[in-house]
Structure 1
Amino acid sequence: MLDKNIDLNGKRVLVTGAAGFIGSNLCKELLKEFKDIHIYGIDNMNDYYDPKIKEQRLKEVLELSATKGDEEKYAEDDAPFVFERGSIADRDAIDDIFKEFKPEVVVNLAAQAGVRYSIENPDAYIEANLIGFYNILEACRHSYDAVKTDANADYKGVAHLVYASSSSVYGSNKKIPYSVEDKVDNPVSLYAATKKSNELLAHAYSKLYGIPSTGLRFFTVYGPAGRPDMAYFGFTNKLVKGDKIKIFNYGNCKRDFTFVDDIVKGVVNVMQVAPAENENGVKYKVYNIGNNDPVNLLDFVDILQQELISAGVLPEDYDFEAHKELVPMQPGDVEVTYADVTALQEDFGFKPATPLRDGLRAFAKWYKEVYC
């Protein structure tokens, strides 16, 4: 296992995409686990999906921050969590945050998500995933050459950049499980191409400017207050309305569903270990974070329906067969995602372990409380 070389207690952490599914849960975990931490969150709060979900997530983070501020006696003008509505594609906004906040750890989770959406809306992906990430890299780069003044004499720049990649970078690879050692040169969507580009850009900036960076390839993240465009959430909405759900590739796809709490634990572990120089002299690493247990979509739907009935979201006599439609594979999709998490286990002694049924049960209970 690797030794921790960053103590997050007392650190200033920038989290982009802070009102997002993973970002908001990460902010809450950091506030709970680390003393005297200062988090600056930024999110554009766009309407790719219902902004009310983002607003509720943000509300929970702000409430936790207020409680922490009182309990740990933060100064009145120095809250544990500060939020700014803005875009990482806005270079001036990002530069101002780095200038004023001086982050020591940066976690870039802001991105335009969705494989299928990228086929019809490429501009959104170029702006957020490429231009936005470039702005973050540039700001990290210039954090080292900021003019030293009495006010920031102790600031040494960004000690670690952690950023979200995706399992989609594996594209049409046939070898499974997917290993970080595999070639990833066959993206099947623009979204996947932007995430692979993020990894290449991060590597180049690590090589040229010494930015310690770690990319995390997330595998099908799910859980309470997640993204409505994801299958488990979208299926639930349709079933409640009495609509049919479409199961692609006639149900023959498999996904490595990973519970959001496991994802967050993985991110927090990684944040505390800035990579040392590798054999090429680059402070750069990439890890898979997945459940290492792919599930067939028909089995997934079966478990989901059981938990929705158990939670009282759907009646016990609900006719699921009448509400399922098996359809062909969609453009940009892949048949299987399956994470090899050997590197994550070896370096951190950690791997996601939440069973799918437990995670879907938590989602169903949350859905019942919020929507029923």
Structure 2
Amino acid sequence: MNYNPLNPNKVYLITGAAGFVGSFLSKKLLEQNCTVIGIDNINDYYDVNLKHARLEQLKPFEKFTFIKNDISDKDELFKIFEEYKPHIVVNLAAQAGVRYSIENPDVYIQSNIVGFFNILEACRNYPVDHLVYASSSSVYGTNKKVPFEETDFVDHPVSLYASTKKSNELMAHTYSHLYKIPSTGLRFFTVYGPMGRPDMAYFGFADKYFAGEPIKIFNNGDFENDLYRDFTYIDDIVAGIERLLSNPPKESVPNKVYNIGNNNPEKLMTFITTLEKALSNALGKEVVFEKVFEPIKPGDVPATYASTDRLQQAVGFKPETSIEEGLQRFADWYVKYYEVK
């Protein structure tokens, strides 16, 4: 395993730069004196104040340029490629959320299919060294075999969101085959941490607690057969992406897909009790959530569990953050950011 380090002479274009992973990755690159062009449409899928707060952390860096734009606007996207001539593109802009895709399918097609097609076309017309893009663990659907491996059959997605991510992988493969665009897809497994997405369960649990409301747990109240999730701390995710950036695939069809997860799934209830402890520590008083148990939601999968062997062999990726440590950092940030007592 040998991998090339980051090259500060390259221009890195990151879409979804005001998003959770995009902002943390941008900051990591900027701290290493890289030039980063950030694109985001700042949509209101969740609290835009949080997106602006993430961008505020990037503004002090001289080598950061932010452009408010939607990747589904092809003409504007091409102008950005023409002007800044990025060497490495990281496409993290997407409409996220499994459950939301059931209520609002249109935005998923616009952002995840049309937007990604525009990114591929831009990379074809303005050739790049490497395109890295976000896929998702949701492509595994209801696969029973665990841990999930990249070679598993993934033709039965159970949500439109998962379908769009599987489509991205197929589209990237086609463009790599036809136009030799080196591309790497990353199947993310439940990313969490400070400044994370408010639509994620752990964030919502904290919100509900401080609003004096019960939390809803969609596991049928079945602790024996509880949902398992491969919760992956944000710093581990960013470290994995950073190692991949200067290491495009070299095959005849230069296209790779990797799982990027924790390789250590936790029961949902274990995660919840750990979050209660973390908030107790942050507040200096005992926190116990009021819990309501409900049936599993359509589109949810019973378990996510990543085999990360392929990524470890490629670039030495090994997540290091326990859920105790990661949730404590989240809880400390949450209490401070929202000034809760």
Q: TM-score, normalised by structure 1?
A: 0.88
Give the C-alpha shift of residue 172 in structure 1. 1.1
In structure 2, distance between residues paired with 1:217 and 1:304: 25
The answer (yes or no) to whether the contact 2:263–2:307 under 8 Å persists in 1 is yes
SS for the counterpart of 1:311 is helix
Q: Which amino acid aligns with 2:153?
A: K
Assess, with a 3 A threshold, how the Cα gap between structure 1 residues 319 and 179 changes in structure 2: closer, same or farther: closer
Matched, 1:289 2:260: yes
Distance in structure 2 (CA, Å) of the matches to 1:135 and 1:274: 20
Q: What's the counterpart of residue 13 of structure 2?
A: 14
Q: Which residue of 1 aligns with 2:173?
A: 203
Pick aligned residue for 1:241 from 204, 211, 226: 211
Match of 2:240 in 1: 266
Larger radius of gyration: 1
Runs of 4+ in 1 over 4 A off after TM superposition: none
Q: Indicate whether 1:347 and 2:330 are aligned.
A: no
Match of 2:23 in 1: 24
Matches within 5 A, 1:1-372: 1-4=1-4, 7-33=6-32, 35=33, 37-63=34-60, 65=61, 69=62, 80-143=63-126, 157-249=127-219, 250=221, 252-277=226-251, 281-312=252-283, 315-316=285-286, 318-320=287-289, 323-371=290-338, 372=340
Structure 1 residue 352: Cα displacement: 1.2
Structure 1 residue 97 displacement after superposition: 0.4
* Post-superposition offset of 1:248: 0.9
* Secondary structure, counterpart of 2:101 in structure 1: helix
1:8 deviation in Å? 2.1
| Deviation by residue 1:194-215 (Cα, 9 ceiling, x = unmatched) | 0000000000000000100000
Q: Cα deviations across residues 322-362 of structure 1 (Å, max 9, x unaligned)?
A: x1011110000000000000001111112112100100000
Q: Write the distance in 1 (CA, Å) between the matches of 2:317 and 2:120.
A: 28
Q: CA deviation at 1:272?
A: 1.4
Code of the aligned partner of 1:48: Y
Q: Distance in 2 between matches of 1:172 and 1:96?
A: 41
Counterpart-to-counterpart distance in 2, 1:242 and 1:99: 51
8 Å CA contact retained: 2:276, 2:288? no
Identity %: 56
Amino acid in structure 1 at the alignment position of 2:267: N
Instruction: Report the Cα distance in structure 1 between the residues aligned to 2:110 and 2:203, rounded to whole angstroms.
Output: 27
What SS class does the counterpart of residue 57 from structure 2 fall into?
helix
| Distance in 2 of aligned mates of 1:297 and 1:188 | 20
1:150 match: none
- Counterparts of 2:199 and 2:6 in 1: how far apart (Å)? 36
Structure-2-length-normalised TM-score: 0.96
CA distance in 1, matches of 2:7, 2:198: 32
In structure 1, list runs of 5 or more residues that go unmatched: 70-79, 144-156
Secondary structure, counterpart of 2:314 in structure 1: helix
What is the distance in 2 between the residues matched to 1:219 and 1:275? 22
What SS does the corresponding residue of 2:89 show, helix, strand or coil? strand
User: Which amino acid letter does the alignment assign opposite residue 320 of structure 2?
Assistant: A
1:74-95 alpha-carbon deviations (Å, 9 max, x no partner): xxxxxx0100111000001110
Structure 1 residue 9 displacement after superposition:
1.5
Is the 1:2–1:273 Cα contact (8 Å) retained in structure 2?
Answer: no
SS of equivalent residue, structure 2 residue 313: helix
| Residue ranges of structure 2 left out of the alignment (5+ in a row) | none
CA distance in 2, matches of 1:39, 1:300: 35
Task: Give the counterpart letter for 2:310 in structure 1.
Answer: A
Number of equivalenced pairs: 335
8 Å Cα contact 2:229/2:305 also seen in 1: yes
Whether the 8 Å contact between 1:289 and 1:351 is mirrored in structure 2 is: no
How far 1:7 moved relative to its partner?
4.4
Question: Conserved in 2, the CA contact under 8 Å of 1:10 and 1:38?
Answer: yes
CA drift of 1:262 comes to 0.5
